[in-house]
């Protein structure tokens, strides 16, 4: 009798294993050893792809949405920026959502609240407002505005121009935990219970009300970070030496605690002087950027783009990013860094 070849033995074992897998699948079990490498990788390998959205090319499509559906009909008239590596998931990274929201003159996006935390960065037009728990703030270009989890908020446009802003939410994170709740307001617009600027005066000038105490994980009571103040800070620190990996970069905080404005989303402002080239950098928080001012070349992984004003791009987890500023450039960005840090999962590499 001839000897049995190694190939035949392996094939027989393979058939036996497959038959075993088929049997245990009926009991809703599956073998770890078949998927261990993917579940516990040697380093992060996100399915999200480095992607650029050029606002100049998208603006007409955003405005067309305004002709097809009203803000009230849509509840929120938004075009989702969907990562091509995450089709059908309404996500720009595994944990974050991004979209361009439009509100036309005279419109109101009706009041609601939800467990998802949200931020806005104003990009185009003037005259709109956001109201959060009874206080309105006028939306100006570059302003960073938040609606913390479970706070009522509505938007309106009292001006004569269409207004567009970038929305950022932790929708995929909340969806992962099956923790999403939402509720509509009793009226389209909230009643005003505090004058504009009240929250900033109470909590945003290195003071808080005498009887106010807040836990480090609670969202900030300051819901607007005016771009004028952000620019002032960046202008001041830009007189010093830039960091080799970041240029001049600051993170937004809850003034009462020093923690992130929201427990699941961090936000940052960055100035790159003309001619400055950063060293490559990578971190585990997938990050969404918007170019508020200037012009720069950016390389993300193996992708390279020429950034213009209002362009939006995403850097997935553990992909390297570096910049070369053609002119003085200001970037806003947001990521899931606070959530990763609270779980002890955040890492960076300054290359």
State the pLDDT confidence band at 106, using cuts at 50, 70 and 90.
very high
Q: Which two tokens stand for residue 213?
A: 């105490």
Strands 287-293 and 153-157: unpaired
Asked whether residue 1 carries a pLDDT value surpassing 70, the answer given is no
Q: What is the mean pLDDT of residues 180-194?
A: 93
Question: Under a CB-based contact definition with an 8 Å cutoff, are residues 135 and 194 in contact?
Answer: yes
27 and 61 fall within a common domain? no
pLDDT number for residue 348:
98
Give pLDDT tens digits for 261-275: 999 999 999 999 999
Q: In whole angstroms, give the CA distance from residue 272 to residue 326.
A: 9
Tell whether 46 is covered by a domain: no
**pLDDT over 90 for what percent of the chain?**
94
pLDDT in tens, 110-150: 999 999 999 999 999 999 999 999 999 999 999 999 999 99
pLDDT of residue 136: 97
186 and 319 share one domain = yes
Q: Is residue 84 part of a domain?
A: yes
pLDDT single digits (tens) 155-174: 999 999 999 999 999 999 99
Query: Does residue 121 sit in the same domain as residue 261?
Result: yes
The answer to whether position 342 is within a domain reads yes
Residue 284 has a pLDDT of 98
Write down the pLDDT at residue 147.
96
- 156 contacts 76 by C-beta, under 8 angstroms: no
What pLDDT does 143 receive?
Answer: 98
Give domain status of residue 284, yes or no. yes
Examine residue 44 and state whether it is found in any structural domain, yes or no.
no
Confidence of residue 4 (pLDDT cuts 50, 70, 90): confident
Residues 325 and 234 in one domain: yes
Residue 67: predicted pLDDT = 97
C-alpha angle with apex 171: 62 to 178, nearest 5 degrees?
145
- Same domain, yes or no: 253 and 309: yes
For residues 238 and 34, give the distance between their C-alpha atoms in angstroms, rounded to a whole number: 52
SS3 category, 267: strand
Q: What is the Cα 12 distance to its own chain's centre? A: 50
124 bridge partner residues: 164
Question: Does 140 share its domain with 30?
Answer: no
- Residues 299-334 have pLDDT tens digits of 999 999 999 999 999 999 999 999 999 999 999 999
- Residue 174 resides in a domain: yes
Residue with tokens 């060293």: 279
Range of the domain at 165: 51-350
60 and 33: one domain?
no
134 and 19 within one domain: no
Report the C-alpha gap between 146 and 180 in whole angstroms: 18
Residues 143 and 228 in one domain: yes
Same domain, residue pair 213 and 321: yes
Q: Can you give the CATH number for the domain in which 336 is found? A: 2.60.120.10
Say whether 146 sits in a helix, a strand or coil: strand
For residue 3, is pLDDT > 80? no
Total domains present in the chain: 2
Q: What pLDDT digit, counting tens, does each position of 54-76 carry?
A: 999 999 999 999 999 999 899 99
Q: For the residues 197-221, what does the mean pLDDT come to?
A: 91
1 domain-assigned: no
For residue 121, tell me if it sits in a domain.
yes
Average pLDDT, the chain: 96
CB 190 within 8 A of CB 129: no
Stretch 21-33: mean pLDDT, rounded?
A: 97
Same domain, 127 and 32: no
Confidence at residue 178, expressed as pLDDT on a 0 to 100 scale: 97
Phi-psi category of residue 296: left, alpha or beta, with phi > 0 → left and psi -120 to 50 → alpha: beta
Q: Do 142 and 12 sit in the same domain of this protein? A: no
What pLDDT is recorded for position 2? 56
| Distance of alpha carbon 165 from alpha carbon 188, whole angstroms | 20
CA 119 to chain centroid, in Å, comes to: 8
pLDDT band for 219, please (50, 70, 90 cuts): confident
DSSP 8-state symbol, 290: E
Element (H, E) at 307: strand 303-307
């Amino acid at each position: 009798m001839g000897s049995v070849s190694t190939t035949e033995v392996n094939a027989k074992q393979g058939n036996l294993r497959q038959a075993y897998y088929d049997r245990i699948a009926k009991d809703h079990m599956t073998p770890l050893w078949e998927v261990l490498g993917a579940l516990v990788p040697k380093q992060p390998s996100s399915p999200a792809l480095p992607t650029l959205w050029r606002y100049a090319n998208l603006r007409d499509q955003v405005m067309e949405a305004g002709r097809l559906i009203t803000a009230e009909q849509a509840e929120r008239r938004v075009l989702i920026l969907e990562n091509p590596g995450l089709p059908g998931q309404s996500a720009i990274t595994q944990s974050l959502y991004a979209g361009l929201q439009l509100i036309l003159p005279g419109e109101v996006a009706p009041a609601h609240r939800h467990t998802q935390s949200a931020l806005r960065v104003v990009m185009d037009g003037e005259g709109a407002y956001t109201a959060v728990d009874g206080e309105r703030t006028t939306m100006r270009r570059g302003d960073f505005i938040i609606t913390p989890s479970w706070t009522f908020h509505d938007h309106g446009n009292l001006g004569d121009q269409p207004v567009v802003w970038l929305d950022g939410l932790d929708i995929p994170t909340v969806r992962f935990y099956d923790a999403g709740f939402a509720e509509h307001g009793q009226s389209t617009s909230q009643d005003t219970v505090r004058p504009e600027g009240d929250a900033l005066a109470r909590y945003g000038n290195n003071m808080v009300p005498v009887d106010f105490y807040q836990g480090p994980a609670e969202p900030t009571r300051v819901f607007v970070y005016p771009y004028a103040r952000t620019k002032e800070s960046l202008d001041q620190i830009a007189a010093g030496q830039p960091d080799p990996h970041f240029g001049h970069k600051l993170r937004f905080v809850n003034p009462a605690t020093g923690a992130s404005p929201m427990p699941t989303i961090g936000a940052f402002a960055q100035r790159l002087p003309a001619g400055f080239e950063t060293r490559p950098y990578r971190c585990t928080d997938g990050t969404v950027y918007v170019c508020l001012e200037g012009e720069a070349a950016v390389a993300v992984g193996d992708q390279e783009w020429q950034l213009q004003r209002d362009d939006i791009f995403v850097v997935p987890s553990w992909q390297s990013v570096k910049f070369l500023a053609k002119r003085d450039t200001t970037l806003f960005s947001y990521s899931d860094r606070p959530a990763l840090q609270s779980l002890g999962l955040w890492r960076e590499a300054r290359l």
